[in-house]
Amino acid sequence: MSRHETLPTRRGGAPRRVGRTAGGSGVTGPPRPRIARRAGAKAPARRAAARGWFLLLPALGMYIGFVVWPLFMGVQYSFYDWNGVGPATWVGLDNYVKVFSDPYLLGSIRNAFVLIAFFTVIPITAGLMLATLIRSLRPGPFSRASQTILFLPQIIPLAAAGIAWSWMYAQTGAVNEILGWFGLGWFARPWLADYGTALPAVGLIGSWVLTGLCTVLLLTGIGKIDGSLYEAVRLDGAGWWREFFTITLPGLRQEIAVLMTLSVIAALSSFDIIYTSTQGGPGRATLVPALSIYRIGFTQSDVGLASAFGIVLMIMVLLCVLPIQRLSKAGDR
Amino acid sequence: MIADRTERVLGRVLLILALVLTLIPLVNMVSAALQPADVNPTGLAWPSDPQWGNFVTAFETGHVWELMGSSLFIVLGVVPVSLLIATLAGYALGGLRVRGGRAVLIFMVLGLTIPFEALIIPLYYQAQALGTLNSQWAVIFPLIGLFMPFGVFWMRAHFVNVPPELAEAARVDGAGLWQEFRRIQLPLAIPAVSALGILLFLWTWNQFLLPVVLIDDPLKRTAAGALTFFQGQYSLSIPLLNAGALIIITPAIIVFLIFQRQFIRALLRGAVKG
């Protein structure tokens, strides 16, 4: 109780301290708050820490219950041969061996890596170009409207993007029609049904979705770059390209790392677009890990193999994402 | 000077081309949706006799009211709870800086890289064990958990930047933890919480994998999850499929257009913090 009694004596100092942070006059100097903090810090701090943990519990509980625990169960399933209903038999690493030896599963992993080119490289490149273009516009309705429009694909469900584009790519669809306008009608084909073009065609849907996000995020990044740098390089007589490579690109390292992380995860674990556009076909031309996991687990009821593939997918994502993180941090120093 | 002007014109042309490319698939959905329902449309052609009735047909045969109700139920189950518990945890980590908080943060941020697909098999059997399989709860509970890494990370980033003097002043004034949280921290956190709310709404509304796997009945899924039902239902009518898909994506687009400025500001702030 005695500690509480010290509180009123400190009450007088409180308004002044608030005033200081707001007004920034700083005449009274720091000693007073430091003394006050030291005086009764320990027991209330411990109590506050206990309450702090209490506040953490709900979030931590949901996370552990519905992410960490399932992950743990997934690891466990991956060592068993189980059809989901009957008895399970321990098979050790057999399921993992199968993931890395089955040509179909390996093929789906390969497809996922091909998708990175379309989900990561194209959107970030296009986003860099578009962001510099929008930045060169005078701020106004056109600049704002172009941001809104470019962002739209990010808002609609990926599954809807798959439906919209499977109609674009159809034999009688818009892509072939536009090719016809330019005299390229001989090039027309049902893009998603052709073994050679299905995977790039699906990948371009991802580019369409992610370009807007990249543009808007990179644009905010450009906004943070010191404007005087641009003036300096302009005075040097530098053109658009030099300005881009000497100022814009290095200044956006952080944003690019964020976008690479997001889009690589989206590419490796893509499911929605492929489910509604090609279902992995034709044949297995656009089969990806997520779709394989879904089929193996729920159609073929090989829970162990599907779980093992899920764990492999997670590790693949981690192995791709961690170097990107390190890259962005190393550049900071 | 001349080079500068050509650059500028070329830039405009490129930008407009990008805008057109972005809009074509969406416009194409509208033009296809307005064709007569029993005709296979071709290309981009705008119908001579727009069949606005297709939207009515798709709305009725697609049980859209039921779908929207189900989606809304899932959103209401996921978003407010996620916001509340992510805010509390973010405050504990960023504002109170509890001991061991750093470890908790790392433990949670690791979850950011776990793809939903890696968890879907165990989540199915977990829902079966909990008896929630084939009900909306099968999606609601895991989504709250899956949103925690991002939500807590986001809210912590906000609270870390609130000057500790504010909280101290309140405590000195005799405010309890709860009072301090409600009177001082919460009002300051409103922009961060609402931005997170918009993001979580979109991610829930557009969530596809979880509802498709965990809920058998398409009418109990999220709007996005129900698109597969439309694909089955309208496999013979491209106009109706597009009309249905447009109806499904409209609410998200409306939310985006209304909250656009907050959305972009949220992204900007997120980038500043990251």
- Is the pLDDT at A25 greater than 60? The verdict is no
Domains and CATH numbers, chain B: 2-56 (no CATH), 63-273 (1.10.3720.10)
Residue A79 in domain: no
pLDDT for A155 equals: 84
pLDDT confidence band for A45 (50 / 70 / 90): low
Average pLDDT of span B171-190: 80
Instruction: Sort A198 into a burial class: Cβ within 10 Å, 0-12 / 13-18 / 19+.
Output: buried
- Is the pLDDT at B47 greater than 90? The verdict is no
Residue A73 in domain: no
- pLDDT tens-digit map of B218-233: 888 888 888 888 887 7
Which residues of B are less than 8 Å from A74 in CB distance?
118-119, 121-122
A249 CB-near residues (< 8 Å, 6+ apart): A128
A132 CB-near residues (< 8 Å, 6+ apart): A222, A240, A244, A248
H or E element in which residue A220 lies? helix A198-224
Residue A98 in domain: yes
Higher pLDDT, B211 or A84: B211
Q: State whether A172 and B41 contact (CB < 8 Å).
A: yes
Nearest CA in chain A to B88: A55
Nearest Cα to Cα of residue A16 among A26, A4, A6:
A26
- pLDDT tens-digit map of A127-165: 998 988 888 777 778 888 888 888 888 888 898 899 889
Residue type, A280: G
| ipTM of model | 0.86
* A 36-65 residues with CB < 8 A to B: 36-37, 48-49, 51-53, 55-56, 58-60, 62-65
Residue A86 in domain: no
pLDDT for A44 equals: 62
pLDDT confidence band for A13 (50 / 70 / 90): very low
Residue A270 in domain: yes
Q: State whether A59 and B89 contact (CB < 8 Å).
A: yes
Mean pLDDT (chain B, rounded): 84
| Together in a domain, A47 and A112 | no
Higher pLDDT, B172 or A57: A57
Print burial letters for A16-54: b (CB count within 10 Å at least 16), e (below 16). ebbebeeeeeeeeeeeebeebeeebeeeeeeebbebbbe
| Together in a domain, A244 and A295 | yes
| Together in a domain, A117 and A61 | no
| Together in a domain, A147 and A261 | yes
| Percent of residues, chain B, with pLDDT higher than 70 | 94
Q: State whether A254 and B271 contact (CB < 8 Å).
A: yes
| Together in a domain, A151 and A51 | no
| Together in a domain, A183 and A43 | no
| Together in a domain, A236 and A310 | yes
Q: Say how many domains are in chain A.
A: 2
| Together in a domain, A63 and A99 | no
Residue A146 in domain: yes
Higher pLDDT, B47 or A178: A178
CATH number at residue A126: 1.10.3720.10
- CA dist A223 → A126, A218, B83, B98 (Å): 18, 9, 29, 35
Q: State whether B271 and A77 contact (CB < 8 Å).
A: no
Average pLDDT of span B20-37: 88
Highest average pLDDT, of A24-38, A98-112, A275-289, comes from A98-112
Q: State whether B249 and A156 contact (CB < 8 Å).
A: yes
pLDDT confidence band for A1 (50 / 70 / 90): very low
Nearest Cα to Cα of residue B66 among B219, B223, B205, B225:
B219
| Lowest mean pLDDT, pick from A76-80, A110-114, A173-177, A327-331 | A327-331
Please tell me the distance from the alpha carbon of residue B120 to that of residue B117, in angstroms, as a whole number: 5
Average pLDDT of span A280-304: 89
Q: Kindly state the tokens that stand for A68.
A: 């960490």
Q: State whether B125 and A56 contact (CB < 8 Å).
A: no
Contact in structure between B216 and B226 (CB atoms under 8 Å) = no
Nearest Cα to Cα of residue A289 among A100, A124, A80:
A100
pLDDT for A46 equals: 65
Q: Kindly state the tokens that stand for B86.
A: 């992510």
| Together in a domain, A107 and A242 | yes
pLDDT for A154 equals: 84
Which residues of B are less than 8 Å from A208 in CB distance?
21-22, 25
Domain containing A60 equals: 2-68
